[in-house]
Structure 1
Amino acid sequence: MPSDSSSVPQHVAIIMDGNGRWATGRGWPRLVGHRKGAERVKQIVRCAPDLGIKWLTIYAFSTENWKRSTEEVLGLMGLFSRYIEREADRLSAEGVRMRFIGDRSRLDERLQKLMAGIETRTANNTRLNLTVAINYGGRDEIIRAGRKIAQAVAEGRLDPDNVTESTVSDVLDTANIPDPDLVIRTSGETRVSNFLLWQAAYAEYEFTPTLWPDFSPAELALILARFGGRDRRFGGAEPA
């Protein structure tokens, strides 16, 4: 656990990759890997506050994941519902505030109700802010934000000359959520996959070969320690 709290990223975002490969490598169906991945989520959520993390965002299902087989998509949606139902009491008791980002309109109505319910139930919790991205894509989010701004301009509520970075940030799914300091991707892939494109403009990145079901609190602690040694200048010049 990093000893200098000022060097700990307050907001960590994770692209949880490798569930399917973890399962198929063992000769099991891909959904077994997703179930194992959900268990890993519980462990990481539980340890995050003790590591100094205040905000944790996890990429659960992208706008592109609909291309997967019907069996896998339905299995994932069922897994999301069961996670919310089974973890609601524990998350609330442990002071975790849970919220979701992404376009909910394509999701099953029951899942949407479960999402809204746990958001309301945990709204006053402050120990950890957990954000789950479901049917989320960075480009889709920016397009939806652009439509809101265009509508405000068309209705005369906003002068185009007054559009700033804050204007855009305020209409994104992540309004009132700080930008991530660190983005972690598991499984050895080294791409951002349409995740938090606006918000992660100045985030630090870590790519680990570990498949998500094997990603442990100990490895997270090591990554946080390495983050503490980075020099973040946000475009500024290196000190003379």
Structure 2
Amino acid sequence: MPDEFAFLVSHDLKEPLAGIRGYCEILLEDYQDKLDADGRRRLDALIQMCDRLGASIDSLLRYCRVGKVERPAAEVDLNCVVEDVLQTFRPRIDSRHASVRVVGRLPVVKGDAVLIGEVMANLVSNGLKFNESEGPRVEIGCVPGQVPVIYVRDNGIGIAREHHEEIFTIFRRLHSRRAYEGSGAGLTIVRKIVESHGGRVWLESEPGRGSTFFFTLGPATSDATSPKPSAKPPHWGRPSGRRSGRGAGKR
């Protein structure tokens, strides 16, 4: 679907969707004495469906906007970007009793700080969300080289090899919304942002053994095909919890 067409359709859907949601709320408020429990339940369900569709439309709009606003490439200190992301996620990290650490110093790269921040936020968020460990861990680091390779590693549920490419397809989910919230567009947006910077993104993962996402922000080189973190933490093993999972879903 061409980005321009998707953008126009998504934009035009938002107004009537907001109207549908608004009428549902009016019915619940103004006619609550005429609605039985089943009627209220159905209207609540309709509002939830409107919210889910609205989230999907917002994700599609974000996807279409990547690369639309061209900002001059500037030096971006990834340490500052990650610091801002972790500050935003601090309540979530604390509530999950999670550990998010940066290994060493991250490089300064050329690019768009806002978009690169969105890449980091998506990967860190997924590392916390698709994680059934009692103590979720996320590690951010860099494999140095002519083209630095950034990695975000977690001890989450992992992703089966046959899904490694599939998860980058927009709105493709490997789990139900009840299991993990999200629109299913996060990794698609990550890939588009990375590729708009002349880089690429890939992963190493298997079910029950966590995931490591790698990305570059410049032309990939042959020696960056399958890097490993230079300071590899101790083996994390299988996550505890009710789901070992076939694969991580998408935001």
TM-score by length of 1: 0.25
TM-score by length of 2: 0.24
- Which structure has more relative contact order (CA 8 Å, sep 6+)? It is 1
